[in-house]
Amino acid sequence: MDYRPLGRTGVQVSPLCLGAMMFGPWGNNDHADATRIIHRAIDSGINFLDTADVYSGGASEEIVGKALEGKRDDVFLATKFFMPMNEDDPNQRGGSRRWIMRAVEDSLRRLNTDYIDLYQVHRPSPDTDVEETLGALTDLVRQGKVRYIGSSSYSGSQIVEAQWASRDRNLERFVTEQPPYSILVRGIEEDVLPTVQRHGMGTLTYSPLGGGWLSGRWRKGAASAPTSSARPSARFDMTSPANQRKLDIVEELARLAEQSGMTLIELAIAFVINHPGVTAAIVGPRTMEQLESYLPAADITLASDVLDRIDKIAAPGVTVNPDDNSYGAHELTAQARRRTRP
């Protein structure tokens, strides 16, 4: 497996990043089996792991921490904070200094490590200055608890604002961005990917299979169901014209994959990691079988004619169902778009 530079950090990572969202009650709650999957990924050459405090209420981090005993130095370990960890406490979430300082200690304990390689803010906050978040994260880097910091699901303008704030205030900067990206969710090609490239950031993209749509389980006349309650229901509503369009696209992509001598899964993941702005695709297996189906994609380079045919099937820069975008969650609400009377 070839390795790639993570932005301008000097760190080399695998083109596949093992996502741990499915380890724990949200997906596979068999800790021994999850550990075997993690070890198999590392043995295959994957040296990049991503999790989050919110995944299964912290259970994912605990599973990863136990699995990495004796292997911690072999991987570049990333986790995230921001999402609510206690629905009854409004301060156990977000990007405030107060919460970040507590959240990092909780993650370090669950991960059974004394440092986190990449600590990412899971979402932008509409009510917290980015300087507040960057200031706290800068202190964590200087304390040695965190090596690098990154963002997730930021828009192009939010990425630029954070980079400017870091330079203006002499703070650590986000060295990575983690956006959604797949053949069905190509919105980031227009703005986010050019922005991260311009600022020398690494990009670890999530949902390369479109939340399962490109796994082969979602086909005309045989639509499946989400395997995890963590999946937003709107993305799988079969009464939605946009989701019906996705089924049509999947059929065309399946034929293209077969004609190209690969599986639909391999085509989908190879498409993502072939983009020059993408460092790694996060693959989140629930089973060993799923992991094995992802691994061959790391060594596939799609021919230009295959990429051209994909562009005709799913237009560049377009997300087929806007509900699949994870950025713009605050900006595109009715309340944010409509002027109210005083």
Instruction: Give the side-chain half-sphere CA count within 13 A for 190.
Output: 10
CA 272 – CA 277 distance, rounded (Å): 9
Give catalytic status of residue 55 as yes or no. yes
Which pairs with CB-CB distance under 8 Å and at least 24 residues apart come from 305-314?
Answer: 306/256, 306/260, 306/267, 307/271, 307/274, 309/256, 310/183, 310/253, 310/256, 310/267, 310/271, 313/183, 313/249, 313/252, 313/253, 313/256, 314/183, 314/184, 314/186, 314/249, 314/253
User: Which of 55, 148, 206, 327 is flagged as catalytic?
Assistant: 55
Active site residues: 55
